[in-house]
Structure 1
Amino acid sequence: MSKIIVYEHRDFMGISKEFTSSVPNLVAENFNDCISSLKVIGNPWVAYVDINYSGSQQVYEEGEYPSLDRNDSISSLELVTEDLTNPMITLYEHDQFRGKTLVLTTETNLAYGTFNDVASSHKVQRGAWVLYEHINRQGAQMVARASRDVANYGWFNDRVSQVRPLKPGRAIIKTEILWDKKEEQTKSVTVDSICGLNHGDNEQSFSTELSREYEGSVTDSFSFSNSTQITWGTSFSIDIGPVKAEQNLSLSNTFTVQKGSSNTRTDRKSIRINLPTKIPPHTKLIVNVLRKEVDVKVPVKMTIQSGSQSSVEFGEYRCQAGNSITAEYKEERI
């Protein structure tokens, strides 16, 4: 959930309040003209110096702000609820959406082109934007939002020098492993075979080595769909849950995934097998050491919450386990 936490003093000190929806009048919240630091989680917020979302404005994207340029001067707060993933804005040369146009989808320094200090109206097709009076995000600013076309900038006419889209907050990803749709393959592989012969009439020692050590491993991995909307570098965890025991797999409770990495983890451990100590008379004893290899594939439902927008997509979790090692004994008379 997107929220803003506002503090009475700098460095997040003093009285604080938390809001999860827009606040048209901070007077009613007993917090007017006293905000000196703040924290934003999720989508951006717009702070206004007057009530009812009016007057000069300042945008705060997700992050921590231990001090503010406009200290003790905020009277209303508005949450940006638009989908910010695919922004687009059209600037117009004259008011009432007339004259030359410039369509933007990314942050642009207008001083590098022919539209610097030209725009006087705009329409936002998607997302939310900030229009700055000067380059390098300096000077007065105006927030432009979808469905809120501005036909005349007034005193801001012919003053826009930089434009940038607002960024959504970090996505919150919740996962659900769909175990009922899993695919599983199991096979046994002989990793060692030990043979002992006793031609005599009395029991004989099988081996002076009463146990042996073998290596087992568990490798789990995650793959995204080709059309994933999860951005590069996003991390989240998959909760394996209590059903892991049913899969005959020794897994950790969670598996952390990062978009853009190999998303693979391998755990190895040594396993000791105890061997029989005696061979009966006139007997050939064969000990086969078997490793049970399990390969499980299961779809994972991912619910991606970005600000007020939610979407669902599917990936695939895979676990290849070979850490179940047992001994099989076979006797033959000779």
Structure 2
Amino acid sequence: MNKLELFELPNFRGASTCLEGDQSDLSSVGFLQRAQSLKVCGDPWIVFTDVNYNAQFKAFVEGDYSSLSGWNKAICSARIVSGGLDEFQITLHENANYKGKSVTLTNQADSLKAYGFNNAARSQNKVIGAWALYSQENYHGMHKVTLTDDDIPNYQSANWGFTVRSLKPVTP
């Protein structure tokens, strides 16, 4: 069973809540920006400092984290990484709806120009693991995290507000 247990205080004390699936807004379970320790059972989880899986992020693998060093009272949303963080793959497409040039990556890319893209990718599929995708080269600008099986036919329609110019696997 996969779960993320969040605790209000360090050392697994105080009120707690247990997640067994993605949670886009921890206020719905009364735990927005409250966690100061956590436990992961099963597959890894990625937590975010804003709702809807936005802003800063951090991956946690199976284990007990008695303190969150720099992440105290910061977690606002969380996603489970089905299948883990041991294998990474993503297929990017130059145009929306999986059209145009495509490239399947298993490692980071500081620029998609090296793959013959006309500056950026606009859709993705065949995702394994977790990836951080950036609006600018060299992992700068706006970013989003995408996980296993997140097929996105059009970044603009998905309200990303940018096309992808660089990306790298998310590791703990």
**TM-score of the superposition, structure 1-length normalised?**
0.39
Asked if 1:27 corresponds to 2:33, the answer is no
Q: 1:121 matched to which residue of 2?
A: 123
> Residues 1-334 of structure 1 correspond to what in structure 2 (within 5 A)?
2-8=2-8, 15=14, 17=16, 19=18, 21-22=20-21, 24=23, 25-35=25-35, 38=38, 40=40, 42-48=42-48, 49-50=50-51, 54=52, 56=54, 58-62=57-61, 64=65, 65-68=68-71, 71-72=73-74, 74=76, 76-82=77-83, 84-110=85-111, 113-114=114-115, 115=117, 117-134=119-136, 139-154=141-156, 155-157=161-163, 159-164=164-169
Shift in Å at residue 86 of structure 1? 3.7
| 8 Å CA contact 2:44, 2:85 repeated in 1 | no
Shift in Å at residue 3 of structure 1? 3.9
Q: Which has the higher contact order (CA 8 A, sep 6+)?
A: 2
Greater fraction helix: 2
Q: Secondary structure at the match of 2:97?
A: helix
In 1, distance between residues paired with 2:118 and 2:59?
Answer: 25
1:134-191 superposed Cα distances (whole Å, 9 cap, x missing partner): 566554332223333111112122x432221557xxxxxxxxxxxxxxxxxxxxxxxx
Q: Secondary structure at the match of 1:163?
A: strand
| 8 Å CA contact 2:97, 2:123 repeated in 1 | yes
1:41-84 superposed Cα distances (whole Å, 9 cap, x missing partner): 5532233533xxx251534232753122x95460x322222355
Q: Secondary structure at the match of 2:107?
A: coil
The structure with the largest alpha-carbon Rg is 1
Question: What is the count of residue pairs matched by the alignment?
Answer: 160
**TM-score of the superposition, structure 2-length normalised?**
0.66
Shift in Å at residue 26 of structure 1? 2.8
Shift in Å at residue 38 of structure 1? 4.5
